[in-house]
Structure formats: structure tokens, C-alpha cells
Amino acid sequence: MDFDGAAEILRAWSEGLTPDPDLTVSQWADRHRMLSGRASAEPGRYRTARTPYMGEIMDRLSPGDPTQRIVFMKAAQVGATEAGNNWIGFAIHQAPGPMLAVQPTVELAKRNSRQRIDPLIDESPELRERVKPARSRDAGNTMLSKEFAGGILIMTGANSAVGLRSTPARYIFLDEVDAYPASADEEGDPVTLAEARSLTFAHRRKLFLVSTPTIRGMSRIERDYEASDQRRFFVPCPHCGAMQWLKFERLRWEKGQPETAEYHCEGCETPIAEHHKTAMLEAGEWRATATAADPNTVGYHLSALYSPIGWLSWERIVRAWDAAQGSDEAIKAFRNTILGETWVETGEAPDWQRLYDQRERWKPGTVPAGGLFLTGGADVQKDRIEVDVWAWGRGLESWLVDHIVIEGGPDRHEAWGELTDLLGRTWPHERGAHLNIARLAIDTGYEAPAVYGWARAQGFAQVSPVKGVEGFNRASPVSGPTYVDATEGGKRLRRGARLWTVAVSTFKAETYRFLRLARPTDEDMAAGAGFLPGTVHLPHWVENEWLKQFVAEQLVTVRTKRGFARLEWQKLRERNEALDCRVYARAAAWIAGADRWTDEKWRDLEDQLGVADASADPAGQINRQAPTSQGKRRSDWLGRRGGWF
């Protein structure tokens, strides 16, 4: 070896024989992970010390740890998704194998690939060496798959059964599982389908389930967390050293002064200022608070109270809590996204007699001033078609405008003709305009081919066939449309009807919540008070039978065969068409876009009808000034033509 360059050869040979360091996921992230400005608010080298509570969770994902299932029920924006991405990078570099990463939908999977996975690979030299660069003719690196030596990363959506059963997977990352649909292409629970991909890897498999929770009894992440050892992150009091996990009820402040928020220690009751949080997190540790049903599963829960300094402060949490008061929806969002806890949905049926007493008088067949557009919900029965027409205003305040029963079932041609005539009918508005049904949602549960054929003949701009599915989905209670194959005259249609899928539990619970809203007294209204957003107004002509149908179901908790609790709507009486029609009409409003309209859009509708914005009136009342003839003609045309949508 006595020649020039011998030392270099020996050094290179020695380095080649040296095995890669045995790193955990957190150690790998600290050494190799770079956060891109495209995907992070804090670009630069990843530091586990920034979110100390993620250290143990990531290390459970390391091959040297025997844990097979890691469950993380958490608040929004605490670093969970980045921890999952660290795991992906670690697997590519240190422990290659087939990996499946699942987002709620295929579209979200594509977005995650562009915004997070591509920067993850681009910013790390170790990963760039192992993942082929994206080229048009190279199938090894596409939007939803990344090949590397010894493995492949497949990204898909929980709504795609094909993607979930595409390949065996040693590693499975299930992100935001509570936003998954109840069934993937009607082939079963997406989580179950995904987990089945890992069974052949036995004890070597790793599953990471992450989500912000949703509704008690329906939340997948809560179900799995409760079956785990239910770990909480205990931190020491800087004054007495008592270890405790942070609870919102111990965060206290002066009324109207969120900036005074301090945490009160369970041990010594001494107020803890937020600047102590960094040291508290560094000294924190995860502790199990229950015995796991499965010894191979560990579960973690974390609220935004632990958010590092510079992220979500205690003051901002208090401001969010104060702002949420008076709104069940806002409080639910607070519990889900900030406390990382489930929301208890109250589905007790309101008393129909109370609704009877709350009926209001306005001219029959007329749209009250606050109603800005109409939708209809049609329920097809064996011997009739029932249709309810609802008017909608700001804040989803609603008025029942009409109830129509078309005699004869779907096999009666004249019944479809009467339903067609209903689409062209108009209802007078209190301001003088005439409105037609902007969108009609019709149920396909009975005689779907006949419904599809009629809807196709009318056109899908005004008619939306819908299919109800059980379960809650607050993020997107209506999904679609999807093209449904249908036959007409024995021929297969190239593109079938456009079918929308409706999470009926979401809209039923919302309706019951709106029915429970407090109403202003005559004295309150004389003083300028108005109705709360979401208030349901029922006319004096509505009959007892309709009211009984409107509250014909209640939400109950039932136990599955595996012993898990879930929520289920059960009938209190046989007929419930009024509630079903309300759900379909509400879905039609969602499809029309009412849930996503800006204040400018609502103001435009009010201008078209000659209705002043009630929010601009100090008394909170509708301006009763009559519209100009020009405004009347314009709103007439828009109502007839469906021009608002």
C-alpha cells in the first residue's frame, strides 16, 4: 500500500464498511430534515426541541420500537403532520419498505404531495439521492408515488378503494382520519381497508393514525385513543414542580382581558405565566393514564395549550373562546381544533307542540323579507312525491314557504310532469320580486333510475339527485357530483346522472340545533333585538302531522359488536318525510354555495331584492322601503332564470 492515494483508498473503504448510524426518527429529523419555505412558517433545520412533545411519538415510529399502532388525537397545528413527514423521510433513508400515506381525498393527497412531500425530498440531499427526479417518462416519481431503493411511497385518498388496496405496505400513515368518508367507494371503512395492507408484515408493521377529533361517538381517532393507554403530556410547575397535564379550565383571565391569561397550577394554585412554557415543555414527559386494550398500541392526546411560544398563545386561545360564545358551531370548532376534544352532539328531538306554539304569521305562499333564495327538497315515495320549499337568508336563517304533495309514485307519468311544472313556478317575495326554486335536491333512495331519467331531462343546473349516507361530515357534508351509470331504453349512457352524496346526520343535527335556538321576546324585538343566525321559521298554516314528521328522529348512542360507542339516528315514529325534505333542501343550499358565500355575495342578493342589509341597521331590522321598479324587474329575471347561481 506504499503508493500515492493509498490512504484515501483505505479511508473510503473503511467508510464503506461502516454501517449507517442507528438513528431514531427524531434523531434523523434533527440531523437531516430541512423545512422549506414553501411548506413551513419556520423554514430551516428541523428541531425536535421546538416541539418536545413530538419526540417520543416520532421515536415510537422507529423500527427498533416494538409498538405497531401509534394513535395521536390532537389539536390543529401542533406539528403532527411534520412528524409524519419526518417518518416518511426516515423510512426512505434508513429503513426502506413499502409505505402508504392516506389523506381524506385523492385531491388532498395530490396537494400534500406538491406542498409537503416534494419539498421534503428536494430540501434533503440524502433523500434526493434515493428518489428519482420527476421526469415525464419516468414512472418511478409521479404525483402519487415515489420509488426509492428498497421501497415505494404510495399516496392516495380515503375515498379511493383502489388506492387503499393497491399494494401491501409495511408503513401506513393515516392523516386526519376523522375527515375520511364512512366508506371508500362503498367497499368499507377506509381505515380498515388501509390497515389490511399491513397484516403480512406482522410485528414489523407501523401504523400512524393522526387526527383532530370531531363528534363524540362518531370520531375514529377518539375510538382508537380510548382503546389505547391514553397518554397525556405532563409538565412541571415552575414554582412547586408538581407534574400535571394542561387543562383549559385551569387557564384563567380577567373578564374582557384575554392578555391577562395565566395557567393555575393544580398543586400550589400559583399562576403560571406563558413565558415559562418553553422550560415546561423541555421538562415534560408522556404518561399513560389507562391500560390499553391492545398492548401493541399507544395513544397520545395533546391540546393547543402546549403550542410553543410564537405559535398559538394562551391569549389567542382565550380570545377564540370568548368569540365562540353564543354559537354552538363556534364552540364545537374550538373544542375540536384547539382543545383536541370531541363535541357531544345533542340529538334530542324538540317537542313538536313547542314548535306549534312558535309558528309565525305571514302571507301564505309568500317569501318573507329575510329570505333571499329558495331551494326545494323532494322525497320520492311509492305513492307520492313530497316537496318542501324553503327560503334561506343570511346566517342560514330559514323559512318554510310551501309544502306540496304530488299524488302518484314514480311509475305515474303525470307525477313527474307536476314536479317539472313546480320547477317553473314562482313565489312572490315580500319586496315585490318573484322567486323560483334555485335548486331542487331529490332523493334517489326509491326508484333511482326513474329519478335519474327525470333529472337528466330537466338538466342538472337546477336539479340535484342526492343519496343520503349515515355519518357526520362537518368539513364537507355534501360531496360530488359523481356520474352514475344509468340505462334509458336499454342503452348504456356514456355519462349518467350527476349524483351528490349527503351526510344526512350532519344536517339533521344542525336542524335540531337551530330549532333549539332562543327566540327574542316581543320586548326584546321592540328594543331592536333580532333572530339568531340559523333560526327556523315555521308558518301558521303548517299542520300537526308535518310538525311530528319534522322531529320524528333522535340521536342515540349504540354499541358496536367490538364494544365501541357510535351515534345513530333512530325514528320515533314511522313517517319522517318533513325532516328528510328539510335535509335535502339544506343540501341544495349547500350545493348552491350558500355556506361559502362572502358578505359581498349576500349583500348583492339583498340589493337585487331591494332588501337592506339588516346588519347595517342599528335596530337589526329589515328596511321596509319598497324596491324600485328597476330593482324589481332585475330580481324577477334573476329569480326566474336562476341567475344568482
Distance CA 645, CA 642 (A): 6
Q: How confident is the model at residue 498 (pLDDT cuts 50, 70, 90)?
A: confident
The x, y and z cell numbers of residue 487, run together, are 340505462
Helix (H, G, I), strand (E, B) or coil at 378: strand
pLDDT tens-place string over residues 113-142: 999 999 999 888 889 888 877 664 555 678
- Phi and psi at 159, nearest 5°, equal -90, 5
Residue 48 and residue 71: Cα distance in Å, rounded? 19
- Give the H/E segment covering residue 463: strand 463-469
pLDDT tier, 615 (very low <50, low <70, confident <90, very high otherwise): very low
d(CA 114, CA 120): 10
Cα separation, 234 vs 52, in Å, equals 12
Q: Sort strands 297-302 and 231-236 into parallel, antiparallel or unpaired.
A: parallel
Query: DSSP for 126-177?
Result: HHHHHBPPP-TT-TTEETTEEEETTEEEEEEETT-HHHHTSS--SEEEEESG
The residue that leads in pLDDT, 644 or 179, is 179
pLDDT digits (tens, 9 = 90+) for 413-436: 899 999 999 999 999 999 889 999
- The three cell numbers of residue 541 are 298554516
Residues 6+ apart with CB under 8 A from 114: 143
Domains, the chain: 23-230+291-302 (3.40.50.300), 234-289+311-340 (no CATH), 352-521+529-601 (3.30.420.240)
At residue 82, does pLDDT exceed 70? yes
Tell whether the model's pLDDT for residue 634 goes beyond 60: no
What pLDDT shows up at residue 26? 95
Distance CA 140, CA 148 (A): 8
CA 208/CA 412 separation, integer angstroms:
54
Q: What is the pLDDT of residue 412?
A: 86
Contact 367, 537 (CB under 8 A): no
What is the model's pTM? 0.66
Alpha-carbon distance of 174 to 108, in angstroms, equals 13
Average pLDDT over residues 612-627: 38
Give me 20's grid cell: 449507517
What pLDDT shows up at residue 138?
A: 56
Nearest residue to 641 via CA among 392, 434, 404: 434
Alpha-carbon distance 446 to 440, whole Å? 17
Kind and range of the H or E run holding 553: strand 553-559
- Exposure string of 401-417, with b = 16+ CB inside 10 Å and e = fewer, is bbbbebeebbeeeebbe
Q: Using CB atoms within 10 Å of the CB of residue 188, give its burial: 0 to 12 exposed, 13 to 18 middle, 19+ buried.
A: middle
CA–CA distance, 149 with 130 (Å, rounded to integer) = 6
